[in-house]
């Protein structure tokens, strides 16, 4: 019992109550965000849309998500984290309820776009609020718990979505709206505003220009890190875009694909809480290089995979890489952001995921069609390129973080 208590203290001890309310809101939000998993099926089965039109509507949701990410970052720095979270959750709940009763395809497409905006707005605000309230020494653990909650919520969402979709698509959307509303209630009652208004001297001192969204979009050190994260996201997206096609070509049934995905989710839920203690002694750039290298090895191994056991073994390797990458990736992103621009930097960072969700299937499909199993060698090479990039970019990132900390400390020293 004493050993278990020590492990829990190392994993989650010392985190403020506000973090746990944010964590609870995120978990409820993710566990309830299941309707969009079945949007394409809903459009074709319930609304009679052809697959091409269903694909366009789902794509519209993705476009809305990209816009919502940037909007959420700007508003979280201007309005505040709490106000942005509440506005986004309430809007998403209302839009999802409207979607439940809409029958015209044009209206559904417009609502899906707006839902994409509302669903993506909270991400920068959530992370910025975590950085606001969690001491720097505990942020790696906080981000690790955030990643764990996200995956646990998605696992619950996948289970509930299948059950509700078989019962009623209307119920699917309404329960999703109810879960989003419940997350809003937790935030409204328990999460205070975490944004501290500061004079905009810190970012100007470091980047040499008036702060704004353009600061993040022209910050070379940060954009190199975003680019490396984009490569990692392209690797991760292989599991939901190209791997199902490859498994089908190998003669494997859809249930085999479900088993591979379920294994990855189970590993994250069972093992993610042990990651911070494992990686704490090492530099973040080294951890990211190792983790990305493991992902490259796992996906590269699919070149010779022709049966379920090899796919399962490869999934273990790349999932371990994902688990190791999550905390340092989030912490570096937080460290590189000037205090006055935390949410804006988060919004630019989160653009990597919708971008990867477009690039991975678009180019991956062509690659698989023309290269066959050699596609996985290309994916592995991208992973190794990202691993080398983290090793090369690590020292410059560390110098940048040190400069930001020194600039942030100057106003405090002057007051003294």
How many CB atoms lie under 10 A from the CB of residue 255?
Answer: 8
Q: What is the mean pLDDT of residues 354-361?
A: 78
Kindly write down the DSSP assignment for every residue of 184-253, as one continuous string: HHHHHHH----PPP--THHHHHHHSS--SHHHHHT-HHHHHHHHHHHHHHHHHHHHHHTHHHHHHHTT--
Query: Are residues 294 and 331 both part of a single domain?
Result: yes
Give residue 392's pLDDT.
Answer: 94
Query: Are residues 343 and 244 both part of a single domain?
Result: yes
Give residue 276's pLDDT.
Answer: 83
pLDDT at 95 over 80: yes
Give residue 203's pLDDT.
Answer: 47
- With respect to residue 384, please indicate whether it lies within any of the assigned structural domains: yes
- With respect to residue 8, please indicate whether it lies within any of the assigned structural domains: no
pLDDT at 34 over 90: no
Give residue 2's pLDDT.
Answer: 59
pLDDT at 294 over 50: yes
Query: Are residues 206 and 181 both part of a single domain?
Result: no
Query: Are residues 39 and 182 both part of a single domain?
Result: yes
Q: What is the mean pLDDT of residues 388-409?
A: 85
The CATH number that applies at residue 401 is 1.20.1250.20
In percent, how much of the chain has pLDDT > 90? Answer: 33
Q: What is the mean pLDDT of residues 380-401?
A: 92
- pLDDT digits over 128-156, tens only? 999 899 988 888 888 888 888 887 887 77
- With respect to residue 72, please indicate whether it lies within any of the assigned structural domains: yes
pLDDT at 61 over 70: yes
Give residue 96's pLDDT.
Answer: 92
Query: Are residues 254 and 182 both part of a single domain?
Result: no
Greatest mean pLDDT among 175-189, 209-223, 331-345: 175-189
Residues 248 and 373: their CA atoms lie apart, in Å, by 13
Query: Are residues 166 and 266 both part of a single domain?
Result: no
How many CB atoms lie under 10 A from the CB of residue 166?
Answer: 9
Across 345-365, b (16+ Cβ under 10 Å) vs e yields bbbbbbbbbbbbbeebbeebe
pLDDT at 58 over 80: no
pLDDT at 170 over 90: no
Residues 383 and 294: their CA atoms lie apart, in Å, by 8
Q: What is the mean pLDDT of residues 74-84?
A: 92
Tokens 């954009």 identify what position?
A: 223
The better pLDDT of the pair 52, 302 is held by 302
Q: What is the mean pLDDT of residues 340-359?
A: 84
Query: Are residues 324 and 297 both part of a single domain?
Result: yes
Of 88-92, 183-187, 200-204, 386-390, the range with the lowest mean pLDDT is: 200-204
- With respect to residue 290, please indicate whether it lies within any of the assigned structural domains: yes
pTM for this entry: 0.77
How confident is residue 357, by pLDDT bands cut at 50, 70 and 90? confident
- With respect to residue 84, please indicate whether it lies within any of the assigned structural domains: yes
- With respect to residue 146, please indicate whether it lies within any of the assigned structural domains: no
Widest CA span in the chain: 71
Give residue 197's pLDDT.
Answer: 67
- With respect to residue 373, please indicate whether it lies within any of the assigned structural domains: yes
Q: What is the mean pLDDT of residues 323-333?
A: 89
Mean pLDDT, all residues of the chain = 83
Give residue 3's pLDDT.
Answer: 55
Chain centroid offset of residue 276 CA: 18
Query: Are residues 247 and 386 both part of a single domain?
Result: yes
What are the C-alpha distances in Å from 180 to residues 55, 101, 411, 412? 25, 17, 40, 40
pLDDT at 32 over 60: yes
Q: What is the span of the domain harbouring residue 325?
A: 202-410
pLDDT at 200 over 90: no
pLDDT at 186 over 90: yes
Query: Are residues 109 and 239 both part of a single domain?
Result: no
- With respect to residue 46, please indicate whether it lies within any of the assigned structural domains: yes
Of 2-6, 155-159, 163-167, 261-265, the range with the lowest mean pLDDT is: 2-6
pLDDT at 413 over 50: no
Query: Are residues 271 and 382 both part of a single domain?
Result: yes
Of 65-69, 118-122, 325-329, 358-362, the range with the lowest mean pLDDT is: 358-362
pLDDT at 192 over 60: yes
Query: Are residues 228 and 161 both part of a single domain?
Result: no
Q: What is the mean pLDDT of residues 250-278?
A: 81
Q: What is the mean pLDDT of residues 148-176?
A: 78
Secondary structure letter of residue 121 according to DSSP: T
How confident is residue 4, by pLDDT bands cut at 50, 70 and 90? low
- Assess contact for 304 and 86: CB atoms under 8 A: no
Q: How many domains does the chain have?
A: 2
Residues 208 and 206: their CA atoms lie apart, in Å, by 6
How confident is residue 201, by pLDDT bands cut at 50, 70 and 90? very low
Query: Are residues 132 and 248 both part of a single domain?
Result: no
Contacts of 118 (CB under 8 A, 6+ apart): 68, 88, 89, 91, 92, 95
What are the C-alpha distances in Å from 25 to residues 8, 14, 93, 101, 189? 21, 19, 14, 26, 11
């Amino acid at each position: 019992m004493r050993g278990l208590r020590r492990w829990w203290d190392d994993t989650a001890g010392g985190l403020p109550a506000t973090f746990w309310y944010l964590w609870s809101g995120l978990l409820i939000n993710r566990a309830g965000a299941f309707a969009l998993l079945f949007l394409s099926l809903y459009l074709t089965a319930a609304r009679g849309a052809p697959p091409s039109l269903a694909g366009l509507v789902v794509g519209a949701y993705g476009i809305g998500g990209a816009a919502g990410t940037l909007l959420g970052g700007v508003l979280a720095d201007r309005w505040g984290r709490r106000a942005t979270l509440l506005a986004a959750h309430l809007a998403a709940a209302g839009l999802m309820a409207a979607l439940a009763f809409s029958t015209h395809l044009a209206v559904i497409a417009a609502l899906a776009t707006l839902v994409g905006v509302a669903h993506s707005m909270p991400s920068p605000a959530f992370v910025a609020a975590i950085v606001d309230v969690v001491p720097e020494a505990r942020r790696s653990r906080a981000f690790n718990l955030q990643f764990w909650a996200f995956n646990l919520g998605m696992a619950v969402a996948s289970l509930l979505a299948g059950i509700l979709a078989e019962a009623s698509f209307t119920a699917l959307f309404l329960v999703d709206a109810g879960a989003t509303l419940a997350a809003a209630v937790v935030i409204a009652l328990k999460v205070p505003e975490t944004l501290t208004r500061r004079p905009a001297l810190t970012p100007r001192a470091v980047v040499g220009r008036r702060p704004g969204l353009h600061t993040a979009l022209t910050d070379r050190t940060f954009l190199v890190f975003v680019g490396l994260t984009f490569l990692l996201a392209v690797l991760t997206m292989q599991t939901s875009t190209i791997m199902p096609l490859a498994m089908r070509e190998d003669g494997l049934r859809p249930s085999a694909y479900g088993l591979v995905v379920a294994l990855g989710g189970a590993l994250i839920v069972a093992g993610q809480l042990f990651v911070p203690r494992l990686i704490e002694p090492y530099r973040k750039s080294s951890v990211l290089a190792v983790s990305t290298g493991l992902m490259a090895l796992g996906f590269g191994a699919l070149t010779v995979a022709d049966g379920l056991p090899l796919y399962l073994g490869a999934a273990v390797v790349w999932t371990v890489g994902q688990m190791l990458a999550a905390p340092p990736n989030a912490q570096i992103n937080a460290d590189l952001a000037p205090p006055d621009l935390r949410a804006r930097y988060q919004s630019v960072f989160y653009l990597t995921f919708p971008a990867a969700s477009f690039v991975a299937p678009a180019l991956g499909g062509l690659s698989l069609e023309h290269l066959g199993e050699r596609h996985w060698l290309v994916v592995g090479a991208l992973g190794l390129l990202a691993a080398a990039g983290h090793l090369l970019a690590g020292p410059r990132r560390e110098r940048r973080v040190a400069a930001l900390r020194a600039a942030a400390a100057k106003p405090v020293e002057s007051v003294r």
